[in-house]
Structure 1
Amino acid sequence: MPGPRRGAVAQPASAASAPAPTARSAIEERRERRRRRRRLAVIWTSAAAIVVLLGAIGSVAYAIMSNVTPEDSAAEEQQPPAEPEAELLQFPDDEPAATPGAEPCTTVRVLSSFENAEMVENLATAYNSQPRNVAGSCVTVTPSKDKSGLAAATVAAGFPAVADDQRPAVWLPDSSTWVDVAQSSGATALRAEGTSVGTSDIVLAMPEQLAQAVGWDAEAPTWTEVFEAAGDSELWSGLGHPEWGAFKLGKTSPLMATSGEAAMFASFGTAAGGLETLTARDVADPAVQTVVHENELATSHYMATPEHFLWHARQAEASGSAADFLSAVIVDEKSVWDYNRGIVSRDGVSRTQEAPPAEQLVPIYPSDGYYAADNPAMRLTGEWIDPVESEAAADFIRFALTAQGQEVVRLSGYRDLNRVLDPGVEQVGQLRVGQAGVVAFPEPDVVTAVQAAFPEVRKRANVLFLLDVSGSMDELISPADSKLTQAKKAIEAALGHFTTGDDIGLAAFAQAPDGAMVPGLVAPVGDIGASRDAFLHSLGGLASMGDTPLYQAVDTFAGQQAASWSPDRINAVVLLSDGENDAPNAATIGQEQMLENLRNLHHSTPVLVFTLAYGADADVATLQSISSATGAHYYDATDPSKLEAVLGDLVTSF
């Protein structure tokens, strides 16, 4: 049985892939071929190392290795007999202390990703509910969360902006690929060992009626077929559903979220000839990058977390159908379960419970393999962690591997270390059990090569920054900065996200005494590789003035962006405003007409209007309605000190 992938965290071994079928131009022909294709027999086996606690500090090591062996033969009766299944892991019972240790309690801070934060919070609650005594001290586990990519960068830098008493002792990212990213950036705070606490397969999720129409609910496609279908602008019309428009594929940013990484690994793998054989040399191959770029053209736009996409799907259902916003999205199983049970999150951080959607999502497990987020628990090392805290961190990880901890993992929507799901999660999420197809993540050098290549292969942007420069932007938010000067700094920083080939422009709006909207377009939309200096010069020259013709500005510049709309680009406006519509000196468009115009554009030449509320006086409700009308996202910088971070988050959509 092959061993786990190289790296700090043991992961499932590669599953053998079925040969990818030859690509066909007609989706119906591909479906008919799949009907004729004999299903391969697969065997899932697993084994695990022992959990050990070493010395006073303690360390945990755990490995899960899986092997899937398809045997193809001319006739089913000639297939070799199945090998016996490996015995399931036996999880030990938790052993809490008879009485808690002395106060003050040792605090163990655990940093998680946004995707797995609920599981980590539930593990912390369960651990804290029992008495703990580590080296004579009681223990309290306190979780925090951040986007995977940002957390990896923070770990790599050694938490320079975090006070010692707030730094974590455990990092539990959504995937061990982020450990690879942190290590490649010179992380020194990571111990050598880590352990998976649970998994969530990364799947293609589709509204059920769309999956049925294309036949993928019955017979899973290969990744090649997924990307090919996503690039077929007439797919739904050919299947009798022109009302669904073009195929709209949603992805998170591979620089921020595990599902986005997995999507890129699958795209590079299929372009290079196989998910399991992908190398860094393949990633650098111009011919491979060309194919990957073509695959990316089907992407509607990128988002920072799965919750961003799924929130918009619920909004689309409320006004018609989820298919208006989304044909398919690459997410983890846990997100599918959340969606189907009615969990929504507008901002990707806070979560609310609503009624389950009428249009449920179904997970599709591509037939040539799929990845699984492995949730590695990594103890950290640093001068801020004393020996008792380190030992307490090891005790928390030990708990996660007990019968009680693994029950928490299952109830939180994840597969335990035997790949077992909670029956309720399985039913609501329509998740599959017993299937074998998990493919190991690529080697660390491939992970970092894919991240480095993303700026070159991603779908290009056609973006206009639209900045409110009304008189209120003169308000000081620090002794050194007004709202306007702070906004200029944030836009300049965000500009670093874009590269040659992205078309970027700048407009600003206020109302002059004669009723005219000024200054208007100050840096025409053009390739930022050639226009960056001119853009920054125009940005630096902006001054505040007059009132706030918000509706007129949005209507005017969204229309201009629609006039240059291209299906091969993410067409968008990034609107930053600190106030309400206020245009007393001229008759301008009203709110309802502006929103109606945006909705009409969305169905013909869709322009995403991302809105950012800047400062406490921003018209949050209106900005949210503008973004919702266009299928874009609203961002909150009502605390102006957070503007640069929020705008940096926003531009990961491109």
Structure 2
Amino acid sequence: MGRRRAATDPIYPRWIWIAAAATVALLIVGGALVLRTLIFPADSGDGGPAARNGTPPPAGEPLVQDAPAAVAGASPCIPLNILTSLENAEMVRALAAEYTAKPRNVDGKCVAPAVSQERSGAAAGKAAAQFPGVPAGERPTVWLPDSSAWLRIAGEGTGGNRSVPREGTSVARSAIVVAMPETMVTALGWDRQPPSWSEVFKMAGEQDVWERLGHGDWGKFKFGKASPLVSTSGLMALAASYGAAGGSVGGLDGMDLDAASLVEKVRAVELGTSHYMATPEHFLWHAREADNAGNVSEFLSAVIVDEKSVWDYNRGVVSEDGTTKKSGPAPKEPLRAIYPVDGVHVADNPAVVLGGDWVGNQQRLAAQDFLAFAVTEQGQRVVEASGYRSVQGKLDSGVAKTGRYAETLQPLPLPKAEALVAMQDSFPEVRKRARALFLLDVSDSMVQEPGLTKLQRAKDAVLKAVDHFTGEDEVGLAAFSHEGDGPLQPGIVSPVAPFKTNKGDIAAKLNELQAVEATPLFEAVSRFAGDQAKEYKDTFINTIVLLSDGKNDTRHPGDLGGLSEQLSHQYHSTPVLVFTLAYGPDADVPTLREIARASGAHYYDATDPARLGEVLGELVTSF
């Protein structure tokens, strides 16, 4: 939310945002010449890898059949580590299970796939740095992000290193769509006539649209996007913003993305965003909680996500952290996937075999064998059953019905690497500005441990986090505790003001904070959220970042029910998002979750104090 990312950024260094992958070797195991030619085209002839773009037969022509070994290879099996995105981890695990359900023999050995998951942007950065600190045996052989965008960014970020292919073997497809509750889609008439991307963004900017259409009880138009720095849907949402602002969602490569006039138009488009979150799963988690409470419109009007996530949501599968999914009954009101008439970007789920020196010949052969299976008829059945379109565009009928998928797509071209990097680097400049108050618990428990105290860790983390704001953001600092029956103190220590004028004051006042005694959690949140609501600004994301290690421990009045009611009421008209960060093992997690939920924000878990900087770094992408 601030300056351009530099290699020295303390929380999200540039390598986190710059992706990498590596080469795919030339031979495929077992002499399956036809399949090898299909997936791994000939070398480019200059010593560098050719594009390994899995090109299946056209729709209507049969896919290659899986050809498992007659007898499984000998043990111990070849370990095959596969790193994939959060969104498609379940699909990749299902592919691995189906692959190993039949005998496999690679160089005389069986194969043992192991799937791990990471946000695409973060995984890209780790791959670019060759997974520092990770033992060689635990590093991945296969990287499978959910979009070729990350491969292109990787190649751009490594200075054109030919060992990093910009294309991979596509194993599945999922369109990036606008997801909305069905009643809202009907109210806008988009069930009969889908909008263009420009119309979507225009509607998001009309905050009183529901009142105008006779649905004032739905409050403001709440439009969510994920971070383009780590999420494919967030990156494609930003691409759509640029395309709409520039007059052509499919013509980004021909635009001057640095032109001041275009940047200003994109900033105007981004003003329609209610707030950003690290991943689309965060939005859908809160939408489901609002649906459980009887009114999904309290949290969500629209969010840009991949269509597979719509399928997950409509069948009752959500995730609070983007990693662990929970299944339950279907929501009371399903979401509808909207496909704008001028086209959609499509996540193509490309797989590449990494070329680091930790990838041995057997791992490379095993990786090629696994990827060959993924685009067979049997592998693609797994893909379709997992909520994706096959590489030929086919859909499982049950998935399509539950997910409200369109039968066919009008794909937009994926921008070139230069355009993708330029848009990512522009995000701190074009994103909606934040009006943020950092609120710190300074009770005695924050300094009780020996050595580096929780309070000092919190000070250090906040100081790093505020460095990600721009001069136009408005930032302030407050703290809370009290002694005996005394008043809440110290209260506001650096008023919310333009960051360019009070950055130094925040740092100085942060350093001066001292622990006091009690924890008037409810009183502090109620007071400062109310103050922020009174000073609410439509053109900013109004928010509080609450760091607390304990629970409401005070003789001052206040209760969670009353606080939740206040925050929910504010969210309807003057939303102040209270992001809560549970700090330390004694934090009252249920209370902090409820505070975040009632305000329309997200709860973050830093009960392990060593993760505070990492978690706070993720949190600041959510304003």
Report what 2:415 is aligned to.
442
Could you tell me how far apart the structure 2 residues matched to 1:99 and 1:122 are?
Answer: 22
Q: How far 1:481 sits from its partner (Å)?
A: 2.1
Match of 2:528 among 545, 557, 562: 557
Matches within 5 A, 1:497-646: 497-584=468-555, 587-646=556-615
Match of 1:105 among 58, 74, 77: 77
- Indicate whether 1:361 and 2:335 are aligned: yes
Could you tell me how far apart the structure 2 residues matched to 1:87 and 1:514 are?
Answer: 74
Q: How far 1:234 sits from its partner (Å)?
A: 2.9
Matches within 5 A, 1:42-441: 50-52=38-40, 61-63=52-54, 88-186=60-158, 190-191=164-165, 194-279=168-253, 281-433=255-407, 435-441=408-414
Distance 1:192 1:446, change over 3 A: closer
Q: How far 1:227 sits from its partner (Å)?
A: 1.0
TM-score (norm 2): 0.90
Residues 190, 379 of structure 1: 8 Å contact kept: no
Q: How far 1:440 sits from its partner (Å)?
A: 1.2
Could you tell me how far apart the structure 2 residues matched to 1:399 and 1:283 are?
Answer: 40
Report what 1:453 is aligned to.
426
- Residue 416 of structure 1 aligns to a residue whose secondary structure is coil
Q: Which amino acid aligns with 2:612?
A: L
- Name which of structure 1's ranges 626-635 and 534-543 shifts more when overlaid on structure 2: 534-543
Q: CA RMSD in A?
A: 2.3
Could you tell me how far apart the structure 2 residues matched to 1:445 and 1:605 are?
Answer: 39
CA deviation string 1:234-262 (max 9, x = no partner): 32222222222222111111111111111
Could you tell me how far apart the structure 2 residues matched to 1:425 and 1:190 are?
Answer: 34
Q: How far 1:458 sits from its partner (Å)?
A: 0.5
- Indicate whether 1:494 and 2:485 are aligned: no
Distance 1:496 1:610, change over 3 A: same
Residues 543, 579 of structure 2: 8 Å contact kept: yes
Q: How far 1:179 sits from its partner (Å)?
A: 1.3
Report what 1:77 is aligned to.
none
- Residue 632 of structure 1 aligns to a residue whose secondary structure is coil
Q: Which amino acid aligns with 2:39?
A: V
Q: How far 1:53 sits from its partner (Å)?
A: 8.1
Matches within 5 A, 1:469-484: 469-476=442-449, 481-484=452-455
Residues 280, 446 of structure 1: 8 Å contact kept: no
Residues 478, 493 of structure 2: 8 Å contact kept: yes
Report what 1:468 is aligned to.
441
Could you tell me how far apart the structure 2 residues matched to 1:154 and 1:201 are?
Answer: 26
Residues 205, 329 of structure 1: 8 Å contact kept: yes
Q: Which amino acid aligns with 1:262?
A: M
Report what 2:7 is aligned to.
none
Q: How far 1:161 sits from its partner (Å)?
A: 2.6
Q: How many residues align?
A: 584
Residues 271, 539 of structure 2: 8 Å contact kept: yes
Q: How far 1:59 sits from its partner (Å)?
A: 9.2
Q: Which amino acid aligns with 2:355?
A: T
Could you tell me how far apart the structure 2 residues matched to 1:398 and 1:312 are?
Answer: 38
CA deviation string 1:310-359 (max 9, x = no partner): 11111112223111211111111101100110111122221111110111
Could you tell me how far apart the structure 2 residues matched to 1:378 and 1:89 are?
Answer: 25
Residues 202, 370 of structure 1: 8 Å contact kept: yes
CA deviation string 1:57-102 (max 9, x = no partner): x999335599xxxxxxxxxxxxxxxxxxx65342212222222222
Q: How far 1:131 sits from its partner (Å)?
A: 2.3
CA deviation string 1:215-240 (max 9, x = no partner): 11111111111111111223222222
Report what 1:71 is aligned to.
none
- Residue 308 of structure 1 aligns to a residue whose secondary structure is helix
Report what 1:653 is aligned to.
622
Could you tell me how far apart the structure 1 residues matched to 2:451 and 2:165 are?
Answer: 41
Could you tell me how far apart the structure 1 residues matched to 2:279 and 2:59 are?
Answer: 36
Q: Which amino acid aligns with 1:472?
A: S
Could you tell me how far apart the structure 2 residues matched to 1:321 and 1:222 are?
Answer: 27
CA deviation string 1:537-588 (max 9, x = no partner): 222222222121111111111112112211111101111111111114xx33
Distance 1:53 1:612, change over 3 A: same
Residues 555, 597 of structure 1: 8 Å contact kept: yes
- Residue 567 of structure 2 aligns to a residue whose secondary structure is helix
Could you tell me how far apart the structure 2 residues matched to 1:530 and 1:370 are?
Answer: 41
Residues 207, 221 of structure 2: 8 Å contact kept: yes
Distance 1:423 1:91, change over 3 A: same
Residues 178, 339 of structure 2: 8 Å contact kept: yes
TM-score (norm 1): 0.86
Residues 94, 404 of structure 1: 8 Å contact kept: yes
Q: How far 1:414 sits from its partner (Å)?
A: 0.4
Could you tell me how far apart the structure 1 residues matched to 2:322 and 2:621 are?
Answer: 14
Q: Which amino acid aligns with 1:458?
A: R
- Residue 109 of structure 1 aligns to a residue whose secondary structure is strand
Q: How far 1:497 sits from its partner (Å)?
A: 2.3
Could you tell me how far apart the structure 2 residues matched to 1:353 and 1:368 are?
Answer: 34
Could you tell me how far apart the structure 2 residues matched to 1:64 and 1:460 are?
Answer: 43
Residues 190, 378 of structure 1: 8 Å contact kept: no
Q: How far 1:8 sits from its partner (Å)?
A: 9.3
- Residue 501 of structure 1 aligns to a residue whose secondary structure is coil
Could you tell me how far apart the structure 2 residues matched to 1:385 and 1:8 are?
Answer: 12
Distance 1:8 1:220, change over 3 A: farther
Distance 1:89 1:375, change over 3 A: farther
- Residue 470 of structure 2 aligns to a residue whose secondary structure is coil
Q: Which amino acid aligns with 1:343?
A: V
Could you tell me how far apart the structure 1 residues matched to 2:335 and 2:126 are?
Answer: 34
Q: Which amino acid aligns with 2:609?
A: P
Could you tell me how far apart the structure 2 residues matched to 1:619 and 1:652 are?
Answer: 24
- Residue 572 of structure 1 aligns to a residue whose secondary structure is strand
Q: How far 1:106 sits from its partner (Å)?
A: 1.6
Could you tell me how far apart the structure 1 residues matched to 2:105 and 2:452 are?
Answer: 50
- Residue 279 of structure 1 aligns to a residue whose secondary structure is helix
Report what 2:28 is aligned to.
none
Report what 2:11 is aligned to.
none
- Residue 257 of structure 2 aligns to a residue whose secondary structure is helix
Distance 1:241 1:164, change over 3 A: same
Could you tell me how far apart the structure 1 residues matched to 2:514 and 2:100 are?
Answer: 54
% identity of equivalent residues: 48
Could you tell me how far apart the structure 2 residues matched to 1:265 and 1:506 are?
Answer: 34
